[in-house]
């Protein structure tokens, strides 16, 4: 499923609301899509799902009418699980099985606030970068230390979307709408909600893109944000250019002018930096890291990595392990 091209067909989203979900997290994800439909009728079809009949009850007691997943027969392009409370205590094997079935049939799977916890319990986050609300992060890390948890607003990694909740879904939906319909249309939607400062996915743990790369060129920043959301499934130059309505040559000239490098060279360095972080901080195999950062094989990854850093991935990891052990054994 190509998430980057403007879509003529309606994009079908199922909101799976788990009792105890926060209304703000839910509305911040749903409202931008409703506004998009006002500006472009039938851009998105929204379906509300729940676990049992009677609808889904929010943490404030409000009930949202919804269809139990056992009775839902619609097809979806994306399912977003919105959860709050203590999702680690949720034990619904039929839910996990349903989510795995959807994922196995090519549906994009996402989680908001505590929703990513539900995805991890369904076994759907292995090898994927992810985020979730800080309230749940420590507990999930202790239960599943192998997960690649980041303290960011949202993460889009291949066919998984995870979001910290609160108002962060506004920013994730801006990215999603940009990928589907272009930056100008997404800006109209954000302006509808007076959401004039759209945050990048990595906030608040790192400085903004403008500060990191010392440019305020909006086309450059939009393309870099798209790159960060497509680390594992690298896009072609023409696809990146389409995000900001430029030609491939125009975009390349812009990158060389503002960042002194070509678009694709910048993209490759971004993926390699991500792979270095995974080598040092995760337990994934080198093959898994290669695939998670968009390389076709471990051999290809190792060759490119060594040319960039002067050392192979396996050597870097072994050096880091040795250094860690020596530090821990120091009196």
- pLDDT (tens digit per residue) in 312-326: 999 998 887 656 434
User: Which percentage of the chain shows pLDDT scores above 90?
Assistant: 51
CATH number of the domain that 40 lies in?
Answer: 3.40.50.880
Closest CA to 195 of 25, 30, 32: 32
Mean pLDDT of the chain: 86
Does some domain include residue 234? yes
Domain carrying residue 70 = 11-181
Instruction: Please check whether residues 17 and 156 belong to one and the same domain.
Output: yes
49 φ, ψ (degrees, to nearest 5): -125, 155
Cis check: omega of the bond before 204, within 30 degrees of 0: yes
Identify whether residues 230 and 126 lie together within a single domain: no
State residue 144's pLDDT score.
85
In-domain check, residue 84: yes
Instruction: Specify if 152 maps to a domain.
Output: yes
Q: For residue 329, is pLDDT > 60?
A: no
Q: Band of the pLDDT at 201, cuts 50, 70, 90? A: low
Residues 149 and 256 in one domain: no
Q: Is the dihedral of CA 314, 320, 324, 325 positive or negative?
A: positive
Residues facing 204 on adjacent strands: 152
Please identify, among 146, 181, 216, the residue that sits at the C-terminal boundary of a domain. Answer: 181
42 and 156 housed in the same domain: yes
Query: Which of 166, 181, 196 represents a domain boundary (last residue)?
Result: 181
Please calculate the CA angle 117-135-278 and round it to the nearest 5 degrees.
Answer: 60
pLDDT > 80? residue 174: yes
pLDDT score at 322: 52
Confidence of residue 138 (pLDDT cuts 50, 70, 90): low
283: domain CATH number is: 1.10.10.60
In a domain, 53, yes or no: yes
Q: Is residue 194 part of a domain?
A: no
CB contact burial 13-44 (16+ within 10 A = b; e otherwise): bbbbbbbbbbbbbbbbbbbbbebbbeebeebb
- The set of residues, in sequence order, having a beta carbon less than 8 Å from that of 57 and lying 6+ positions away, is 19, 20, 63
Domain end position, chosen among 114, 146, 181: 181
User: Higher pLDDT residue, 169 or 193?
Assistant: 169
Residues 104 and 213 in one domain: no
Provide the 10 A C-beta neighbour count for residue 74.
10
Report percent pLDDT > 70 for the chain.
89
233 with 91, same domain: the answer is no
Same structural domain, 278 and 145:
no
| Residue 203 counted as domain residue | no
The CA radius of gyration of the chain, in Å to the nearest whole number, is 20
Maximum CA extent, the chain: 67
**137 and 259 both lie in a single domain:** no
Q: What is the pLDDT of residue 7?
A: 54
Same domain, 36 and 142: yes
158 and 29 fall within a common domain: yes
pLDDT value, residue 328: 41
The DSSP output letter for 69 is: G
> Residue 135's pLDDT band (boundaries 50, 70, 90)?
confident
Residue 76 has pLDDT above 80, yes or no: yes
Other CB atoms within 10 A of residue 121 CB: 21
pLDDT value for 1: 30
Closest C-alpha among 157, 147, 101, 102 to residue 121: 147
Q: Is 199 part of a structural domain of the chain?
A: no
CB distance 29 to 112 below 8 Å = yes
Q: Note whether 109 and 237 are same-domain residues.
A: no
Residue 268: pLDDT band by 50, 70, 90 thresholds?
very high
Q: How far is CA 77 from CA 33, 106, 118, 147, in A?
A: 14, 8, 19, 25
Q: What are phi and psi of 96, to 5 degrees?
A: -60, -40
For the chain, what is the domain count?
2
Is residue 196 in some structural domain? Answer: no
Q: Are residues 171 and 216 in the same domain?
A: no
Q: For position 209, what pLDDT does the model report?
A: 67
């Amino acid at each position: 499923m190509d998430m980057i091209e403007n879509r003529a067909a309606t994009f079908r989203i199922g909101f799976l609301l788990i009792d105890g979900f926060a209304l703000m997290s839910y509305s911040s994800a749903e409202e931008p899509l409703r506004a998009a439909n006002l500006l472009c009728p039938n851009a998105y079809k929204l379906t509300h799902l729940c676990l049992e009949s009677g609808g889904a009850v929010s943490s404030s007691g409000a009930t949202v009418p919804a269809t139990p997943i056992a009775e839902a027969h619609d097809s979806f392009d994306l399912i977003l699980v919105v959860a709050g409370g203590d999702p680690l205590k949720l034990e619904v094997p039929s839910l996990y099985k349903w989510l795995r079935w959807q994922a196995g049939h090519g549906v994009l799977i996402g989680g908001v606030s505590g929703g990513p916890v539900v995805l991890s319990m369904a076994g759907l986050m292995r090898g994927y970068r992810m985020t979730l609300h800080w309230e749940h992060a420590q507990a999930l890390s202790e239960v599943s230390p192998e997960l690649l948890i980041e303290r960011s607003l949202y993460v889009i990694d291949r066919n998984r979307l995870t979001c910290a909740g609160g108002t962060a879904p506004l920013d994730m939906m801006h990215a999603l709408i940009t990928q589907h319909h272009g930056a100008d249309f997404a800006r109209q939607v954000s302006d509808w909600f007076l959401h004039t400062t759209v945050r990048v996915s990595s906030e608040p743990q790192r400085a903004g893109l403008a500060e990191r790369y010392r440019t305020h060129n909006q086309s450059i920043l939009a393309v870099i944000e798209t790159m960060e959301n497509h680390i594992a499934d690298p896009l072609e130059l023409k696809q990146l250019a389409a995000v900001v309505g430029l030609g491939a040559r125009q975009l390349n000239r812009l990158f060389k002018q503002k960042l002194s490098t070509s678009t694709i060279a910048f993209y490759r360095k971004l993926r390699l930096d991500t792979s270095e972080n995974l080598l040092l901080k995760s337990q994934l195999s080198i093959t898994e890291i290669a695939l998670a950062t968009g390389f076709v094989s471990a051999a290809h990854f190792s060759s490119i990595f060594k040319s960039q850093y002067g050392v192979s991935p396996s050597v870097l990891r072994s050096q880091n392990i040795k250094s860690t052990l020596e530090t821990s054994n120091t009196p």
